[in-house]
A and B are shown apart, each in its own frame.
Chain A
């Protein structure tokens, strides 16, 4: 079975009481809860005089943070460092904690999406919204967007992209498996069009929230 769009999305904001921003992002049965604290105090050894320090922690649903999570955290940090206006808050720390609640495939892209939502909720200044989309190519050369864990097992190659919402330029691209150059660009185009849809979904969720908060307007 191939799919050409992201699974049903559910976004909720401001769930946690002690952090500055939080959001839960679900696509199908993949769910990530993300929190953001900052701009806040920074440890002296991490302090940068001209910009904020971005710290990202990824926590798995099962087990402790290990190599895989550290590499995911690195991926999130480098992707978002280019988009967040870190120079607006020098000598501070912006801390992101992404907790995987359930992983049913395409978790990389949903970690990116949950982080974006939590950063929006915390009001961290950003140049653009980042959206993540993942896809796979199966043995018949067909592309499926946002695959589930079962689907990934039969994949020949998987691809993950993160796009900047303003220019739709690629901020992050990661591929595994065997694929041709042509397939890569097909995946890129397919993910890009989904990213635009996702950006609209995010826009709607933000509007719904603002409307809810300001009933008189």
Chain B
């Protein structure tokens, strides 16, 4: 448990002055994302995403369970996000910080509440057996904007995931092993992607994909969850300085463009993996 020291007064002033002059600490444009690197594992449903030096690892797994009483024909989506002192050394394990709870809520809204995953397709026997899909999101390194990185990692892992095939004959359910029968991908309706903005100088200045240093001096933040069809799935602005309506509209226009690029990156990573599997370069 390390006490974290806030940036000193001169550093704060420096970061803000640089932003006012239009410069960021990593020489990035205000509306530019850091380099996004997506790596897929040998196992299905394993994705590691690096956003600059922010790192997130998502792992999707499944098991057969009983459905919820009220929803007998729907599969279950379980999301687990926990930050450890590996990403933020000042965290005390088992006691989530406010930021962590907020981040996990935004990710949950993006993945579960926007109906991105077709849960009805996960039903095996109505009222008896359904698939529970579990997404474990591990924050490995927190250099700002973990929400966007986690969202990309989770969506990539979900798209990459394959569940075992099942056959139902009367009341008999056979689950085929991954080797004996081609596994089945999840059916994904759309990919809601998070784009986070940080605001400075009474909302006159904003940047996308803030660094940790920028998050430490920001006055407010907002995360927009949008899919590539330009549909807004969620907007999260938990406090901070009040924003003009125009700013929010402007942000959403920018976010829609970013989402298009990110969706293409995810698709490219998935295509590359599919190619490698086809030609057997993945052992």
Contact = CB atoms under 8 A, between A and B. Distances in A.
Interface of A: 15-19, 22, 29, 33, 35, 37-38, 40-43, 57, 59, 61-64, 93, 95, 97, 99, 101-102
Contacts of A35: 85-86
Contact of B59 (A43, A62, A97): A62
Nearest to A118: B86
Contacts of B41: 102
Interface of B: 1-3, 41-43, 46, 48, 53, 55, 57, 59, 61, 80, 82, 84-89, 92-93, 134, 136, 138, 140-143, 212
A102 B141 CA distance: 18
B267 to A, nearest CB: 24
B85 A37 contact: yes
Contact of A62 (B48, B92, B134): B134
B93 A18 contact: no
B85 A61 contact: no
A62 B46 CA distance: 11
A22 B87 CA distance: 11
B46 A102 contact: yes
A61 B86 contact: no
Given A29-B42, A57-B85, A97-B85, A16 B140 contact: yes
Nearest to B78: A63
Contacts of B84: 57, 59, 97, 99
Nearest to B54: A17
Contacts of A61: 59, 136, 138
A38 B86 CA distance: 12
Contacts of A22: 86
Given A101-B57, A102-B46, 4 more contacts: A35-B86, A62-B134, A99-B86, A102-B41
16 contacts: A16-B86, A17-B53, A18-B87, A18-B88, A19-B85, A19-B86, A19-B89, A33-B140, A37-B85, A40-B2, A41-B2, A57-B93, A59-B86, A61-B59, A62-B136, A95-B85
Closest 7 CB pairs of A and B: A97-B86, A35-B86, A40-B2, A37-B89, A16-B141, A17-B53, A62-B61
Nearest to B41: A102
A41 B46 CA distance: 35
A5 B252 CA distance: 55
A63 B82 CA distance: 10
Contacts of A15: 55, 141
Contacts of B88: 18
A110 to B, nearest CB: 16
Contacts of A95: 1, 85, 89
Given A41-B3, A64-B82, A102-B41, A18 B140 contact: no
A186 to B, nearest CB: 30
B140 A99 contact: yes
B82 A40 contact: no
A18 B52 CA distance: 13
A4 to B, nearest CB: 20
A29 B1 CA distance: 31
Contacts of B86: 16, 19, 22, 33, 35, 59, 97, 99
Nearest to A59: B84
Nearest to B92: A43
Contact of B1 (A41, A59, A63): A41
B145 to A, nearest CB: 13
A96 B93 CA distance: 12
A37 B3 CA distance: 12
Contacts of A19: 85-86, 89
B126 to A, nearest CB: 27
Contacts of A18: 87-89, 141-143, 212
B97 to A, nearest CB: 14
Q: Which of B1, B3, B87 has the most CB of A within 10 A?
A: B1
Contacts of A101: 48, 57
A29 B3 CA distance: 36
Contact of A102 (B3, B43, B89): B43
Contacts of B92: 43
A12 B17 CA distance: 37
Contacts of A57: 84-85, 93
A99 B77 CA distance: 23
Contacts of B57: 99, 101
A13 B6 CA distance: 27
A40 B59 contact: no
